[in-house]
Chains A and B, each alone.
Chain A
């Protein structure tokens, strides 16, 4: 049997290296010939955020739709949230990423509550922290696909800032993301040029108008929205769902 010339010797062990060869650890060889093409792009998305500061606070509005491409998939997705009595936040872009971001912000708030030092996180701190988180993820080339808008009151002064998926961050008196940056932002900037210090009512009217125009022009929008409000005197309120006043009379043939 040992002298037979026609049969190969049996293997030493299964999956093992051949005699004199090295063992190949799994995962060190490409499973396919090409590098893995792993496309990072948003899936379930929400559209614009519209926000404005007024003399005593900040308003942030966003509709309740989460789209699956052009399909209006989920029609009750809140994305304007209260962080703590100092801060509200709105988010656009990938809804799953937003839910994840929201979950670790909430955990951060709990962690800080557990310190029991009587301090609450301030809007600029959250804004700065989110800037670093978004930048870190973009540096890993695996970004959170969101536009985040942070509003709040810091030292009695309204604060409004935004961070995008790259970590690009800025503060301004009006901030709109997505389609709103093209349609709502010029309306709000124009109003602010004419009257730099708006009161709550004027700001609310403007937001209402913007959400209306956006609903008519943005194909990924929805006629129900939430309005987040933070006010020096009245604190945080998330109103809604608010319905856009629709008028389709013009669409009928006479």
Chain B
């Protein structure tokens, strides 16, 4: 007789999908804003790391220098950020050792997109903004979605207050919906003061943004760093 009874079950050899309960992602908040000019680019990220109504730490750097002229700002799931930036760092080093030169900002931007898409079906839940100077020394901003869609821009707000800040930047930096748009180039001072202003606004409305902002200013002379306090409530 053919046996039709229940077969023994061996979990290690099972190909049946297993349903599990935990959520591998966390929303740790944070905002990143980047503004590029003709010969500079500024990027700022708040330093609050939180989860729900808890503030883990008030002093967390979310800007990761990838090379002399390239900086990545990350917000979203912090454990993914830690992993992604660690892999990126080693990829930058491998590139340097293989080619005996530093990776350009444009190449790093493409590499990041590829690395994010590689994890298409278990994505890094991060809102990335990559900034730097291109080969002509011009400031550039690249923004990404979690699965690697990449867009080049001149200014971008991302993270928990991204949706809050982008329209403000559209108006103040992009000169959108203005009666008399300014014809002059964006200056570093204007970019920096706008960046600080938008973070103050974000800290007012977004509970995941606050404590302080870490700003990096990249020019042909190198990277300058400054901090700026926000409300801590």
Contact = CB atoms under 8 A, between A and B. Distances in A.
**Majority secondary structure, A binding face:** loop
B26 to A, nearest CB: 6
Interface string B1-43: 1110011111001111111111011101000000000000000
A142 interface: yes
Nearest to B122: A139
Given A167-B83, A170-B60, A27 B13 contact: yes
B49 interface: yes
Report the contact-size class of chain B (Cβ under 8 Å from the partner).
35 or more
Given A27-B14, A27-B15, A168 B21 contact: no
B54 A172 contact: no
B16 A35 contact: yes
Contact of B2 (A18, A31, A41, A135): A18
Contact of A26 (B10, B16, B54): B10
Contact of B19 (A25, A38, A168): A38
A254 interface: no
A133 to B, nearest CB: 12
Interface in B184-228: none
Given A36-B16, A166-B26, A168-B28, 4 more contacts: A35-B16, A35-B18, A142-B20, A181-B54
Interface of B: 1-3, 6-10, 13-22, 24-26, 28, 49, 51, 54, 56-57, 59-60, 77-79, 82-83, 122
Interface of A: 11, 14-15, 18, 24-31, 35-41, 131, 134-135, 138-139, 141-143, 165-172, 181-182
29 contacts: A11-B1, A25-B13, A27-B7, A27-B8, A27-B14, A28-B15, A30-B16, A31-B6, A31-B7, A35-B16, A36-B14, A38-B20, A39-B20, A131-B82, A135-B79, A135-B82, A138-B79, A141-B20, A141-B22, A142-B20, A143-B22, A143-B24, A166-B26, A167-B83, A170-B56, A170-B57, A172-B56, A172-B59, A181-B54
